[in-house]
Structure 1
């Protein structure tokens, strides 16, 4: 039985799943996905998340901000190979800080966990200044998604 706190946290979780097919150019001489491409897959997940939940890079840019990544992590569990279909599950982690945190799980076609990851992005305005508080549009987005 789940606790009430856990149930409420799951209700306020925004996520998206995106399927990708491993391309030949993403593999190394061993025929497996080169480790650097997992960060590309994370970006595919963020792009899908932004489109689904109304906070794409273009939406952020329209409000005068960009969101550079300041930290990324990737933990490899199993390899992916050329031609395989993988699913990227991207979850927004709510925080009161002026940042966007995403967690990633990548699964192979059999449903096995291939990779875990996380990225942290901050808000930088058009003057290239770091925002120490959440921009108004981001607060409004969080409010509209009941992420307070």
Structure 2
């Protein structure tokens, strides 16, 4: 299993009135983690989009364990939790600077044609990417 790691510096704009990271910002960090994972495997999401394919989120599960604050550095770990040739489920753990688990999450995605939103068989359309996912998944 390949785990991508992405360091994030918590910016002031990402915090709420209580001085902790606003919960929705973790979704952005998860996207950064997915992008890093895809890059680690030798591909780009932009390359897929250029071919008219997008991968919307169809399900999200997130559990907040410990707050992160402005000035701290978060570490996002991302991996392929499940993959079946059409649907990808990514796993995430986001850690505090002291290595404590702050967030645990999964997001599910299905690739679709950008114009019609009809699902595509990822394994047929992107065979190299499919092979890389098969090797990298949990």
1:144, distance to aligned residue in structure 2 (A): 4.3
Say what the alpha-carbon RMSD is for the aligned residues.
2.0
2: CA distance, partners of 1:97 / 1:143: 9
Deviates more, 1:79-88 or 1:94-103: 94-103
1:146, distance to aligned residue in structure 2 (A): 4.9
Task: Evaluate the alpha carbon distance shift between residue 144 and residue 102 of structure 1 in structure 2; reply closer, same or farther with a 3 A threshold.
Answer: closer
Determine the structure 2 residue equivalent to 1:23. Answer: 11
Deviations 1:56-111 (A, max 9, x none): 21121233311111111210000000010010000012422511211000001110
Please give the residue correspondences for 1:108-147 in structure 2 after superposition, counting only pairs within 5 Å. 108-131=96-119, 133-144=121-132, 146-147=134-135
Residues 85 and 123, structure 2, Cα contact 8 Å, conserved in 1 = no
- Alignment of 1:77 with 2:60, yes or no, is no
SS of residue paired to 2:122: coil
More RCO (CA 8 Å, sep 6+): 2
Residues 57 and 108, structure 2, Cα contact 8 Å, conserved in 1 = yes
The TM-score with structure 1 as length reference comes to: 0.82
- Alignment of 1:102 with 2:90, yes or no, is yes
The TM-score with structure 2 as length reference comes to: 0.87
Q: Select the structure of larger CA radius of gyration.
A: 1
Residues 63 and 137, structure 1, Cα contact 8 Å, conserved in 2 = no
Residues 93 and 103, structure 2, Cα contact 8 Å, conserved in 1 = yes
Equivalent position to 1:47, from 25, 35, 41: 35
In structure 2, runs of 5+ residues without a counterpart are: none
In structure 1, runs of 5+ residues without a counterpart are: 1-12
2: CA distance, partners of 1:138 / 1:14: 19
Aligned residues: 136
